[in-house]
Amino acid sequence: MNASSINTSRRPNRPVTDGSQSAPRRARYVADGISGTALKQSPMRFGPAKRRTLAGFFLVACAGVLSAGQGWAQAQLPPGFYSFAPSKQEVPAGQLSARAKADLTTALIAYRARDFSTTMPHLERPSREGSIQANWLMGHMYRKGLGVPADLATAFKHYYRVAEDYVDRRSEVSGNERYFVLDSLTHTANYLRKGNKKAGIVKNVERALHFFQTAASAGHAGAQYGFGIMYLNGEGVTMDRSYGMRWLGTAAQKRYAPAASLLGDIYEDSGDDVRALVWYRIAADTAEHSLNKRITRKYKKLLSGVDQKEIAEADRLYIQWSNRFPVRTRQAQN
């Protein structure tokens, strides 16, 4: 598994976001909702291959499909779409054999019925024949231990297969397939960023950065969070905390709780208790249980050390920000 050649000596071209949120443009993201100017929405499709060669990175055309008026896409794929159930609207099966198409249909029906023991065997053939959806779903099920023992190495294999097909082989995707590609890129980047000796995954920060930027450019909140962290820490790039925080802010606008929680930590460490309170409260709106417990502890600790004037200011900023970026749906974020 060879890393693609990318230039990490300078900041990559700043990507286009998905149109439903602002591109990270201004000097800082704060809890009162300061952000860049919203970009014009346009249908999302992965651009021509020549655009994916510039400076070792490629940009992906922005997507309006996650905005509020987009019917089934909004209902089936929440704004973060970091983990999600397969859409009820079938994806194109490409060049799959008739048997593989039938197996994929059976697998999706079984998955929606939570019949995981039936799902997995029917994914094998379409996965071997290159189905993006089948490979994503196998990665998801092995990662979460749904109907099979959790197996990080096997999950990585399936996620990486989708990511590699798109990035290395420059496969074109359409329809719902793009969501599975973006999510696979994000999971693959998460694994490559730290590596895992037990699972046989070799750490590769350059490849992780490349995958994160690809998915972040197309609006995937989990990827925007990971991309921001890499700039905050200087992983594979020159450290740029301001730029990293802007990407965290973009993910937080999609109500991606880990990004909002990390912003809370950053503001708390800097001594800005008011904005820390705001970000922790924003994170708590959509955080899963274990993260929410941590946020609650941090929030209560901060609350005991501020006065009523500061609490009132935090409440004002929270309401202002929440009105601008409301919670549209409860979304899985792990």
| Per-residue pLDDT tens digits of the chain, which is 334 residues long | 433 322 323 344 333 333 334 344 333 433 334 333 222 222 333 333 333 322 232 222 222 222 222 222 222 333 334 443 344 334 444 589 999 999 999 999 999 999 999 999 999 999 999 999 999 999 999 999 999 999 999 999 999 999 988 876 655 666 678 889 999 999 999 999 999 999 999 999 999 999 999 999 989 999 999 999 999 999 999 999 999 999 999 999 999 999 999 999 999 999 999 999 999 999 999 998 888 999 999 999 999 999 999 999 999 999 999 999 998 754 444 4
Tell me, yes or no, whether 317 and 204 share the same domain: no
- Confidence (pLDDT) at 169: 62
Boundary of a domain, candidates 254, 275, 300: 254
Tell me, yes or no, whether 239 and 331 share the same domain: no
DSSP 208-266: HHHHHHHHHHTT-HHHHHHHHHHHHHTSSS---HHHHHHHHHHHHHTT-HHHHHHHHHH
Tell me, yes or no, whether 221 and 73 share the same domain: yes
Single out the residue of 273, 292, 293, 209 nearest to residue 247, CA to CA: 209
- Confidence (pLDDT) at 319: 96
- Confidence (pLDDT) at 9: 32
Boundary of a domain, candidates 216, 232, 254: 254
pTM greater than 0.85 (yes/no): no
Whole-angstrom distance, CA of residue 323 vs CA of residue 327: 9
What phi, psi does 201 have (nearest 5°)? -100, 120
State the CB neighbour count (10 A cutoff) for residue 52. Answer: 18
- Confidence (pLDDT) at 69: 25
Q: Where residue 161 sits, what CATH number does that domain have?
A: 1.25.40
Tell me, yes or no, whether 235 and 269 share the same domain: no
Whole-angstrom distance, CA of residue 322 vs CA of residue 10: 35
The domain in which residue 283 lies consists of 255-334
Tell me, yes or no, whether 201 and 290 share the same domain: no
- Confidence (pLDDT) at 151: 96
Tell me, yes or no, whether 334 and 219 share the same domain: no
The DSSP secondary-structure symbol of 87 reads: P
- Confidence (pLDDT) at 174: 67
Tell me, yes or no, whether 220 and 85 share the same domain: yes
How many structural domains does the chain have?
Answer: 2
Tell me, yes or no, whether 270 and 170 share the same domain: no
Tell me, yes or no, whether 18 and 143 share the same domain: yes
Helices (H), 113-240: 116-128, 132-144, 152-167, 177-194, 205-217, 221-233
- Confidence (pLDDT) at 168: 67
Boundary of a domain, candidates 254, 285, 312: 254
Tell me, yes or no, whether 241 and 268 share the same domain: no
- Exposed e or buried b for every residue in 69-89, given b needs 16+ CB within 10 A? eeeebbebbbbbbbbbebbee
- Confidence (pLDDT) at 170: 58
Tell me, yes or no, whether 77 and 202 share the same domain: yes
Tell me, yes or no, whether 297 and 162 share the same domain: no
